């Protein structure tokens, strides 16, 4: 079985570790985090990549709804498998049930993890400054990443966790640390996720975003 992964770079290290652990012969590609800044363009790029891949049996799309960037994606001749999550916090925390527990009452809560520090927001500001004039770039940056008095840090037992948490404490009034897990990511990659966790999109069907906490996305 030939499998190809199209993923946000936020999962890169986790994916590589899982592929190595299970000796999986998967092909993979990663999109930079700043692609989220323009979800309509991201959707077009994702669809373009899906359209060009015909030599595999399954494609795993490792994105959440992510600003509607997956809404309307169409499977052509290859099945798509997409986690039923709103954003990567649900993946990094271990699944949508844990997401509901920790974020259901505060869906706009600022959060981070080691992979966000690695792909820092400073890089995204640089990206905006190269594309727009300074005033517009800072306006877009502050709109997308508003300052918050609190941050949730999802700790994944990474060597950089402690250092990152201390860095965030210098910029936020409170930093809440939640234990994360790569178990959900592993289930998706190994095709062990339940129908409640992972959406299978048959050829010639589209992804429709539902936005609730249960179904999240569906195929039609």
- pLDDT single digits (tens) 150-174: 999 999 999 999 988 988 887 788 9
> What is the DSSP code string of 42-66?
HHHHHHHHHHH--S-SEEEEE---T
Residue 60: per-residue pLDDT: 98
162 Cβ contact partners less than 8 Å away, ≥ 6 residues apart = none
- pLDDT confidence tier of residue 178, bands split at 50, 70 and 90: very high
Q: How far apart are CA 52 and CA 2, in angstroms?
A: 15
At residue 141, the pLDDT reads 67
Q: pLDDT tens digit string along 97-121?
A: 999 999 989 988 888 898 887 555 5
Q: What is the pLDDT of residues 8-33, one digit of tens each?
A: 999 999 999 999 999 999 999 999 88
79-94 pLDDT, tens digit per residue, is 999 999 999 999 999 9
Alpha carbons 72 and 74: distance in angstroms, whole number? 6
Contact between residue 96 and residue 213 where contact means Cβ atoms under 8 Å apart: yes
How many C-beta atoms surround the C-beta of residue 50 within 10 A? 21
Element (H, E) at 142: helix 134-144
The pLDDT, as a whole number, for residue 119 is 53
Per-residue pLDDT, averaged over 50-74, amounts to 95
């Amino acid at each position: 079985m030939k499998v190809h992964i199209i993923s946000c770079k936020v999962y890169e290290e986790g994916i590589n570790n899982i592929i190595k652990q299970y000796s999986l012969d998967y092909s993979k590609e990663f999109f930079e985090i700043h692609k989220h800044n323009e979800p309509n363009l991201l959707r077009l790029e994702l669809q373009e990549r899906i359209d060009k891949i015909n030599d595999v049996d399954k494609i795993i799309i490792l994105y959440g709804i992510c600003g509607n960037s997956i809404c309307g994606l169409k499977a052509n001749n290859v099945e798509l498998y997409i986690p039923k999550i709103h954003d990567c916090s649900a993946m990094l925390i271990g699944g949508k049930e844990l997401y509901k527990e920790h974020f259901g009452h505060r869906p706009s809560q600022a959060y981070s993890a080691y992979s966000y520090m690695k792909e820092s927001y400073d890089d995204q500001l640089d990206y905006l400054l190269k594309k727009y004039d300074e005033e517009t770039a800072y306006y877009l940056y502050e709109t997308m990443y508003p300052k918050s008095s609190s941050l949730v840090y999802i700790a994944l037992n990474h060597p950089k966790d402690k250092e990152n948490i201390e860095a965030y404490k210098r910029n936020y009034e409170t930093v809440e640390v939640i234990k994360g897990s790569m178990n959900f990511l592993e289930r998706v990659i190994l095709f062990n996720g339940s129908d409640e966790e992972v959406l299978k999109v048959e050829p010639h069907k589209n992804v429709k975003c539902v936005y609730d906490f249960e179904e999240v996305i569906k195929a039609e």
